[in-house]
Structure 1
Amino acid sequence: MDDDARPGLRERKKQRTHAAISDAAIALFLEHGFNQVSVAQVAEAAEVSKRTLFAYFPTKEDLVVHRLADHETESARVVRAREAGTTPLAALRGHFLAGLDARDPITGLNDHPVALRLTRMINDAPTLVARMDRFKRGAELALAEALHETANLPDLTARLTAVQIVSVQWELAQENAAHMASGESADDRHAGAVADAELGFALLDRGLGSLTRGPA
């Protein structure tokens, strides 16, 4: 086997191990509860050692939150990838509305049973709630950096702007998730979710528009 093939095989093996640990953890957490399952039980179910598990997931909370990892920098990526002439706020508004249409779980508008159970599990575990706060902070910092670099906003202005934008997105998602938890379907909630999003972004535009209409 040539040298180029070995790294590829190793990487695929690592990906399979990562997925196996994650799948085992989520299945156990959903069945028994996050606080009721130990890391040792997850390792046993995934057929790996605790040392191997921690090499992939430094904390127990990471076994859950990693499922959302790509979303932590999502708003920053949207801002960086926006088309010329499109303001950051307009790009983020369009992206959030598209997420509602697609029933993206990060918008809270998803009534799939597993998504509902995951949301409930996170809300019921204080350590996961705290970990999600760190996730939110990471999203704010990533977005601030993107605004600073692409919209010519001073560093502090970019950070204050990012905090407000992420907070609105977060609150909109929480509102949608509350409707899902009460038994409303995603389809029935969609129109209300869109109206709420339009309100949220209109309020942001009213307060931040002049700060996010610089050179695209």
Structure 2
Amino acid sequence: MSAVDGKPGLRERKKQRTHAAISDAAITLFLEHGFNQVSVAQVAEAAEVSKRTLFAYFPTKEDLVVHRLADHETETARVVRDRPSDTVPLTAVREHFLKGLIERDPITGLNDHPQVRRLHRMILDAPSLVARMERFKTGAERALAQALRETADTPELTARLAAVQIVAVQWALAQDNAERLAYGEPADERYAGAVADAEHAFALLENGLRHVFM
């Protein structure tokens, strides 16, 4: 059945349920036993699907974890594209990151919900997940560079260099927050320090990119 009135059809809803079932089974097993200790076959069995079906939804074991962050890969690019016409890209990104800290957005690293904290710690402890996150970071850089070229009339090389710096700063800030929280520091106690670090980091960026966006 096809979609009706903008709602997904029966086949699409079934695919969504299967996708969610596999993902939930994987995260539950990984958090309970450890990422490296759980096999793809065990995930498939827990989700009541075949390995072939699992790989149709998630091409690699790492994708079972990283897909939950997929929407964030192009988030900074979307912020730049959607910013008000009188706001420079770096200001829009800074304000968005600070807003994320207030809202305890997991992508800022400042979320101490037990499952989020355990997920961050699991990623930090698994080299293959850390490597997969580096690919995620590269994708974010490419998307942001494209947004800078298209919306800020930034030359290609300049856009790429600016994107690398902006994404690296956000990444470092989020990693610092996530590591602190993964090992027990409450988000509320970390918040003031996270804001101060973000303000400092974006001030350094602004000084370095002043002639690009100002």
User: Could you say whether these structures have the same fold, taking a TM-score greater than 0.5 normalized by the shorter chain as the test?
Assistant: yes
Give the match for residue 39 of structure 2: 38
**1:102 matched to which residue of 2?**
103
C-alpha displacement at 1:210, in angstroms?
2.0
Corresponding position: 1:125 with 2:126 = yes
Q: Count residues in correspondence.
A: 212
The alpha-carbon distance between structure 1 residues 207 and 32, as it changes in their structure 2 partners (threshold 3 A), is same
What secondary structure sits across from 2:71 in the alignment? helix
Instruction: Say if 1:64 and 1:4 are closer, same or farther in 2 by CA, change over 3 A.
Output: closer
Instruction: Report the Cα distance in structure 2 between the residues aligned to 1:23 and 1:95, rounded to whole angstroms.
Output: 29
Q: Deviation at 1:3?
A: 5.4
Distance 1:129 1:179 in 2: 17
Deviation digits for residues 14-66 of structure 1, max 9, x if unmatched? Answer: 11100000000000000111111111110110011111100000000000000
Distance in 1 between residues matched to 2:3 and 2:139, nearest whole Å: 35
Counterpart of 1:195 in structure 2 is 196
The equivalent of 1:57 in structure 2 is: 58
Are 2:163 and 1:185 aligned? no
The match for 1:75 is 76
- Please name the residue that 1:172 is paired with: 173
Residues 77-113 of structure 1: per-residue CA shift (max 9 Å, x gap): 0000001110000000000000000001110111111
Question: For each residue in 1:134-179, what CA deviation from the matched residue of structure 2 results, as whole angstroms up to 9, or x when unmatched?
Answer: 0000000100000011111111110000000000001111111122
1:151 aligns with 2:149: no
Give, in whole Å, the separation in 2 of the partners of 1:90 and 1:3. Answer: 43
Q: Aligned-pair distance for 1:185? A: 0.9
Residues 151/63 of structure 1: CA separation in 2 closer, same or farther (3 Å cut): same
Deviation at 1:182, TM superposition (A): 3.5
Matched AA of 1:8: G
Which aligned runs of 4 or more in structure 1 are off by greater than 6 angstroms?
Answer: none
Q: Percentage identity across aligned positions?
A: 75
Partner Cα separation in structure 2 for residue 3 and residue 173 of structure 1:
41
Q: Which amino acid aligns with 1:174?
A: Q
The one-letter code sitting in structure 2 at the alignment partner of 1:172 is L
**Gap change, CA 1:201 and 1:3, over 3 Å in 2:** closer
Tell me what 1:89 maps to.
90
In structure 2, do the counterparts of structure 1 residues 198 and 11 end up closer, same or farther at CA, with 3 Å as the change threshold?
same
Question: So what's the TM-score if we normalise by structure 1?
Answer: 0.95
**Aligned in 2, Cα 1:7/1:72: closer, same or farther, shift over 3 Å?**
closer
Check 1:121–1:4 CA distance in 2 against 1; reply closer, same or farther (3 A cut): closer
Q: CA RMSD in A?
A: 1.4
Partner of 2:112: 111
The answer to whether the 8 A contact 2:112-2:187 is kept is: yes
Give ranges in structure 2 of 5+ residues lacking alignment. none
1:91 and 1:17 map into 2 onto residues whose CA distance is 37
C-alpha separation between the residues in 2 aligned to 1:28 and 1:189?
29
Provide the TM-score with structure 2 as the length reference.
Answer: 0.96
- Secondary structure, in 3 states, of the residue corresponding to 1:73? helix
